[in-house]
């Protein structure tokens, strides 16, 4: 089976899906600024390549007490208002082309499963890998269910999924924009770099990886 694994943020969607979600969640009053006050600092650390690999685990500690139904409701609003209009045409075309050939496509993203579920539905994708909140009685506990799908942990989650589905790594393509995904790019047979940050771009050039540039959005 030929498999295409796509990172989401800045690879399929123009900005980060969490950024779009936070904007929507604050407007819908299910999230307060104080709960995400550390994110600007984490963004700076990301750009300086000093990002804490456990920053998602640490961030969700402030997100206890939110209804799962509210997260799902706001995610639908977020998708229709922001994410859908910011899907890269190039990514959409590649996903549709692979599906037309009956090739498997999934997402592997550090974003949360409830945020990307509408995007999965849009493309008819099932079984993606994403970070998951832990719930008790339909309410967030402030912990993750498992671990975040970020950096080296994205590689672990992807390799577990590949092995579980009996897929050979030689049949796997992985698409990403971020240096944090270098561990997974290095083990997939076909690493494809999309709109890369400077660190990933240098690494891709050094290793002869394909580099794509997506600009246009507003695709169906």
Residues in Cβ contact with 87 at an 8 Å cutoff, skipping those fewer than 6 apart:
12, 13, 14, 119, 122, 217, 219
Average pLDDT over residues 134-148: 95
Q: What gap in Å lies between CA 56 and CA 58, rounded to an integer?
A: 5
pLDDT grade, residue 160 (50/70/90)? very high
pLDDT digits (tens, 9 = 90+) for 165-185: 999 999 999 999 999 999 999
pLDDT exceeds cutoff 60 at 44: no
Average pLDDT over residues 31-56: 61
Q: What gap in Å lies between CA 11 and CA 77, rounded to an integer?
A: 21
Average pLDDT over residues 23-35: 85
pLDDT grade, residue 48 (50/70/90)? very low
Domains, the chain, in order of start with CATH, read 3-212 (3.40.50.1000)
pLDDT grade, residue 58 (50/70/90)? confident
Q: Give the mean pLDDT of the chain.
A: 91
pLDDT digits (tens, 9 = 90+) for 5-25: 999 999 999 999 988 998 999
* DSSP code, position 101: T
Closest CA to 75 of 33, 111, 123, 39: 111
For helices 17-27 and 68-78, give the axis angle rounded to 10 degrees: 110
pLDDT exceeds cutoff 90 at 43: no
Q: Which phi-psi region, left, alpha or beta, contains residue 65 (left: φ > 0; alpha: ψ -120 to 50)?
A: left
Specify the pLDDT at position 54.
73
- CA distances to 12, 62, 64, 171 from 25, rounded to whole Å, are 21, 14, 14, 39
**In sequence order, what E strands does the chain have?**
3-6, 104-112, 129-131, 133-136, 139-144, 172-176, 190-194, 210-212
Q: What gap in Å lies between CA 211 and CA 109, rounded to an integer?
A: 19
pLDDT digits (tens, 9 = 90+) for 59-98: 888 889 999 999 999 999 999 999 999 999 999 999 999 9
pLDDT exceeds cutoff 90 at 136: yes
């Amino acid at each position: 089976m030929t498999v295409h694994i796509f990172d989401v943020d800045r690879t399929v969607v123009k900005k980060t899906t969490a950024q779009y979600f936070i904007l929507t969640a604050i407007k819908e009053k299910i999230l307060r600024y104080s709960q995400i006050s550390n994110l600007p600092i984490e963004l700076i650390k990301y750009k300086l390549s000093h990002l804490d690999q456990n920053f998602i685990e640490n961030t969700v500690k402030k997100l206890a007490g939110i209804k799962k139904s509210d997260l799902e409701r706001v995610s639908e609003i977020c998708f229709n208002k922001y994410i859908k209009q910011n899907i890269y045409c190039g990514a959409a075309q590649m996903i549709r082309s692979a599906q037309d050939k009956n090739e498997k496509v999934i997402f592997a993203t550090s974003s949360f499963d409830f945020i990307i579920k509408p995007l999965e539905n849009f493309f008819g994708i099932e079984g993606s890998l994403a970070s998951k909140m832990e719930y008790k009685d339909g309410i967030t506990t402030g912990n993750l269910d498992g671990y975040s799908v970020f950096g080296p942990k994205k590689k672990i989650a992807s390799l577990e999924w590949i092995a579980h589905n009996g897929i050979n790594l030689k049949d796997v393509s992985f698409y990403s924009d971020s240096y944090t995904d270098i561990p997974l790019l290095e083990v997939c047979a076909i690493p494809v770099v999309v709109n890369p940050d400077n660190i990933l771009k240098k690494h891709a050039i050094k290793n002869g990886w394909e580099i794509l540039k997506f600009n246009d959005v507003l695709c169906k």
